[in-house]
């Protein structure tokens, strides 16, 4: 299972709530690195080199634009992450319960990846694509035209100019990224957990953080091209998936599809540890509360 302390009987509402809490915490705490990665992946002016060091990007933006600029688009990402991680933990837990071995309660590595991929597609449709579109447009707009005053204003402008399809710009790239990223992140994490459980390795905060960090590294290296394409598609003015791919090849060649890898690695190692550790902790708090509330309601009803 995803959760260390809980078992296969984790209620769906607990998975949803704990995933949402974990997603919000992870998005907010790691946002400056996400900001730096997105800035690097967007098209830059000719002749102006782009720093590879995420801390250098953050420092430069802080000096020239202030600390508020580093959190431009953060609200959209936090809201999207609450929905995204709530949905993907919910679906992943439910899929795992449906396909788990009845005797051991575990899944094969292939089924782990398939469960994660399915959860990623659902999350992309339900929350990720529109929230990522707004976040990326805000970051891009802040360095160029500065048309958008806030996340709500950006949503309103994009809706008026392009309709709902404008909010789902980059859907193909985002869905490919989410499906593969969730498959690798959730799959790797659970493969590690199953391996440790069979060998009676204690599941504590340190173990959860380490497993989440390893899952983050695997995820980043395997899915970076999709992330670059998604970012290019979701710039302030938007672009089709084909146009995004062409622009990356034109600017940097094949190596451009791994643009921002170092920055994303820094974030995913950090955020992967935070995400799963927060999820495990949230389940430990929410599950007893939910069980107690359910028991009280049933007692009163009887």
Place of tokens 């069980």: 291
Could you tell me the two tokens for 80? 């999207």
| Per-residue model confidence (pLDDT) at position 5 | 39
| Per-residue model confidence (pLDDT) at position 87 | 83
- Determine the longest span between alpha carbons in the chain, in angstroms: 74
Domain boundaries, the chain: 12-301
| Per-residue model confidence (pLDDT) at position 47 | 59
**Dist. CA 205–CA 184, nearest whole Å:** 21
Question: Are 273 and 219 spatial neighbours (Cβ–Cβ below 8 Å)?
Answer: no
The 8-class DSSP code of residue 51 comes to P
**CATH architecture entry for 12-301:** Alpha/alpha barrel (1.50)
302 residues of the chain, pLDDT tens digit each:
444 434 446 788 999 999 999 999 999 988 888 888 888 777 665 556 666 676 788 888 888 888 888 888 888 888 888 988 888 788 777 777 776 777 776 777 787 778 778 888 888 888 888 988 898 888 888 877 889 988 899 999 999 999 999 999 888 888 888 888 888 888 888 889 888 988 888 888 899 899 988 988 998 888 889 888 888 888 777 788 899 899 999 988 998 898 878 878 877 778 888 988 999 899 999 999 998 888 888 887 76
């Amino acid at each position: 299972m995803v959760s260390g302390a809980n078992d296969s009987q984790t209620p769906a509402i607990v998975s949803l709530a704990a995933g949402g809490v974990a997603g919000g915490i992870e998005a907010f705490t790691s946002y400056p690195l996400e900001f730096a990665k997105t800035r690097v992946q967007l098209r830059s002016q000719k002749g102006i080199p782009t720093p590879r060091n995420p801390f250098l990007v953050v420092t430069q933006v802080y000096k020239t634009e202030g600390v508020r600029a580093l959190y431009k688009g953060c609200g959209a990402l936090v809201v999207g992450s609450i929905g995204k991680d709530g949905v993907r933990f919910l679906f992943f837990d439910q899929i795992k319960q449906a396909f788990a071995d009845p005797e051991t309660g575990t899944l094969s590595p292939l089924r782990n990846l398939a469960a994660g991929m399915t959860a990623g597609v659902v999350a992309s449709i339900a929350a990720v694509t529109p929230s990522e579109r707004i976040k990326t447009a805000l970051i891009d707009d802040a360095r160029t035209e500065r048309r958008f005053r806030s996340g709500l204003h950006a949503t309103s402008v994009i809706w008026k100019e392009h309709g709902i399809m404008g909010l789902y710009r980059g859907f193909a790239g985002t869905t490919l990224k989410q499906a593969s990223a969730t498959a690798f992140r959730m799959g790797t994490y659970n493969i590690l957990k199953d391996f440790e459980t069979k060998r009676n390795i204690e599941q504590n905060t340190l173990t959860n953080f380490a497993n989440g960090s390893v899952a983050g590294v695997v995820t980043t290296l395997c899915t970076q091209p999709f992330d670059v394409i998604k970012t290019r598609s979701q710039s302030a003015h938007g672009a089709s998936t084909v146009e995004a791919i062409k622009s990356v090849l034109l600017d940097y060649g094949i190596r451009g599809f791994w643009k921002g890898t170092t920055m994303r690695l820094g974030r995913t190692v950090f955020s992967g540890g935070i995400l799963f550790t927060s999820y495990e902790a949230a389940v430990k708090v929410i599950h007893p509360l939910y069980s107690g509330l359910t028991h009280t309601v049933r007692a009163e009803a009887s």
